Amino acid sequence: MTRAESQSASSPSQPVAKFRLTRVVALQWLVVSVVGFFALGYYGVHLHARFRGEHLAQVAIPVLPSGTLLFWLALAALVLGVVVVLHEACHGLFMAHYGSEPSFGVGLSYALFPYAYAAVGGERFTRNQLLISLVSPFILLTAGGLLLMAAMPEHLLAVLLVFALAVNGAGSVGDLWMAAVLLQYPSRVRVDALPNDDVQGFAVYDPESNPSTGDGTPQFAGLQALSLVVTGAVATLALFGTTVIALVLASLAAGTGTVELATDRLLLFRHEVDSSGVARFEVGEVAVGALSLAGGLCWAALGWVSEWVARKS
C-alpha cells in the first residue's frame, strides 16, 4: 500500500493535509482485503481447533455434494449480510454518540471495491472521536466473536464465526488504514470531508496551525516510521498471498494442484490435492512473518533514504 499524499495549507481555516481514496489506493485495499480474508480464515480455523483442544498441522477443504455446497454458500451469504449490518451499526453507534446523525448505504469505489458505509453530514470529528468510530467494528466484533467461539467451540456457530471474523477483518482494511494515517497527527486536530472535492477521502484541520508565523502541525516521527514498516510488511504479505493464490489456481487448472514453496528446513506454503479430491494446505507462519517483516524494514529503509536524498538535493 502507498501513503496518501498530503498538501500544505495556507491558513488555519484550510486543511493542513488532505487524503484521497484514489483508484490506486482502492485497488490496494481490494488486494489486501482478499489476501487478508484468506489469512484470517486460515488462522481462525487454527484458533477454533485450539479452543477444541486440537492442533492442526494442515487445513483440509473437503469436496462437497452440490446440495451441501449450495446450503453452505447460502449460509455464508446470510452471515456476510449480518456482519455488514453489525459492522456499519458499530460505526453509526459511535458517530451518533459524538453528536452526528449517520446515514447508511452501499457503493462501488472505482468499479473495484464494493463497500457499505455510515456517513454523516457537515460535522467535524476530533481525531480521537474518529479513531474510535473507525476501529470500533474491528475491535468489538472480533472480541465478541472470539469470546463466543471460546465459549461454545463444538457448536455450529463457532464454525460460522470463523467465516464472520474473516469477513469483518477483511472489511476493516480501509478503516484501519485511515486510523493509521490519523495517528500520525496530534489529538487536537479535527477531521472533515474533503472541501470541494468529489473524490472520497478526508481533510485534517488544526486550530493551532498558523503558517504565517511558522506554527505548523507536527507529525509524530516515531509513528511515521512505524507506519512505513507496517505498510511494507502488509504489502509484502499481500504480494506473497496473491502469488500463492495465483500459483494454486494455475496448478489446479493445468496440473495436479500441488504447490510447494519450501526447502528441507524452511516451509513457506504447501498445497496438495489427494486422490479423493480433498485439498490440504499449510502455511509456515514463522517464515511468512519473517518475510513480511523483512519487506517492511526494506520499505521503511527505502523511504528514509528517499527522504534523505530529497533533503540533500
Same domain, 93 and 226: no
- Indicate the residue among 218, 251, 271 that finishes a domain: 218
Average pLDDT over residues 54-79: 88
User: Is residue 129 in a domain?
Assistant: yes
In this structure, the answer to whether residues 287 and 148 fall within a common structural domain is: no
Instruction: Give the tens place of pLDDT for each residue, 196-251.
Output: 666 778 888 887 766 555 455 666 667 778 888 888 899 999 999 999 999 999 99
If asked whether residues 155 and 299 sit together in one domain, one would say no
pLDDT for res 264 = 81
How far apart are the C-alpha atoms of 16 and 12, rounded to whole Å?
Answer: 8
Output the nine-digit C-alpha cell for 201: 477521502
Residue 3 domain-assigned (yes or no): no
Contact 158/149 with Cβ under 8 angstroms?
yes
Tell me which of 158, 184, 218 is where a domain ends.
218
Number of neighbours of residue 61 by Cβ within 10 angstroms:
13
- Judged on CB neighbours under 10 Å (0-12, 13-18, 19+), 214 is exposed
| 112 and 249 part of one domain | no
Which among 188, 218, 248 is the end of a domain? 218
- 209: Cβ–Cβ under 8 A, 6 or more apart, which residues? 9, 12, 16, 215, 216, 217
Do residues 209 and 228 share a domain? no
Structure confidence by residue, pLDDT tens digits, 71-95: 999 999 999 999 999 999 999 999 9
Is 9 or 290 the better-scoring residue by pLDDT?
Answer: 290
pLDDT band at 9 (very low <50, low <70, confident <90, very high): very low
Of the chain, the percentage scoring pLDDT greater than 90 comes to 41
Mean pLDDT for the chain overall = 85
Reported pTM: 0.83
In three-state secondary structure terms, 122 is: coil
Is 1 part of a structural domain of the chain? no
- Asked whether residue 244 falls in the same domain as residue 153, the answer is no
Task: Assess if residue 93 is contained within a domain.
Answer: yes
Residue 52 has pLDDT above 80, yes or no: yes
Residue 108 belongs to some domain of the structure: yes
State which residues form the domain around 294.
220-306
On whether residue 313 sits in a domain, the answer given is: no
159-174 pLDDT per residue, tens: 899 999 999 999 999 9
**Distance between CA 292 and CA 232 in Å, rounded?**
8
112-155 tens-digit pLDDT? 677 787 877 667 889 999 999 999 999 999 999 999 999 998 88
User: Residue 2: what pLDDT?
Assistant: 28
Indicate whether 193 and 247 sit together in one domain. Answer: no
- The number of domains in the chain is 2
The whole-number pLDDT of residue 193 equals 79
Instruction: Decide if 104 contacts 90 (C-beta within 8 A).
Output: no
Residue 227 forms part of a structural domain: yes
Tell me, yes or no, whether 168 and 44 share the same domain: yes
pLDDT in tens, 248-277: 999 988 878 899 998 888 899 999 998 888
pLDDT of residue 104: 85
Phi (first) and psi of residue 263, to 5 degrees: -120, -175
For residue 249, give the H/E element and its range: helix 221-254
